[in-house]
Amino acid sequence: MIDVAGPIRDWDHVARAWVVAHRPAPLDAVMWTLSAVGRGGMVWLAAGAAIAWRRSRWPDFVALAIAIALALIVADDVLKPIVHRTRPFDTAPAAPVIGGRPHDASFPSGHAANAFAGATILSTTAPAARVAWWSLAAAIAYSRVYLGVHYPLDVIGGALIGVCCAMFAGALRHRLARRRPS
């Protein structure tokens, strides 16, 4: 039997170590800010509320709120306790961390989950800004590796969870819209 987990885990550790070892100091504050802005999905909810207010598209905002809430529940309340992956700073204590050290498990990244849930929904709600939504989601997810609090696979896993939760919320939105009388 071939052990694929070993090489994948090795890549994950090496990739994180490379990112942390090659952090340009001028980006430290930017990455910390991206991480702070991405906490709890607030940036996505604020953008969604502004769009809903301007375009009277409140069902889209509800879908966004459901997607983010679901992504956070799946990532933080369901998977983190089950997987219970050790944070990078616990595995390699010598690696410096920028900002705080979260006390929960590492996999999956809740920041990445809510960022990609937000980007997925907002890309259908305001498609003209889809490059901005996806760029912001990717930057928030990357910031977690940059700061030294996640491995790359943590954010990839979180991103996949976010997209799946958003697809569920989007399908729910469309199903309810079809049932509503005109």
- Please write the tens of the pLDDT for every residue from 72-103: 999 999 999 999 998 999 888 888 899 889 88
Do residues 151 and 142 touch, judged by C-beta distance below 8 A?
Answer: no
Question: Token pair of 176, please?
Answer: 């309810």
- Please write the tens of the pLDDT for every residue from 19-35: 999 999 999 999 999 99
122 vs 6, higher pLDDT: 122
> What are the domain boundaries of the chain?
32-179
Task: Tell me which residue of 44, 74, 62, 43 sits closest to 161, measured CA to CA.
Answer: 74
The CA distance from 38 to 110, in Å, is: 9
Q: Would you place residue 1 in the very low, low, confident or very high pLDDT band (cuts 50, 70, 90)? A: very low
Work out the angle at residue 30's Cα, subtended by the Cα atoms of residues 22 and 102, and round it to the nearest 5 degrees. 80
Do residues 99 and 32 touch, judged by C-beta distance below 8 A?
Answer: yes
Q: Would you place residue 3 in the very low, low, confident or very high pLDDT band (cuts 50, 70, 90)? A: low
Question: Token pair of 129, please?
Answer: 């800004």
Do residues 176 and 60 touch, judged by C-beta distance below 8 A?
Answer: no
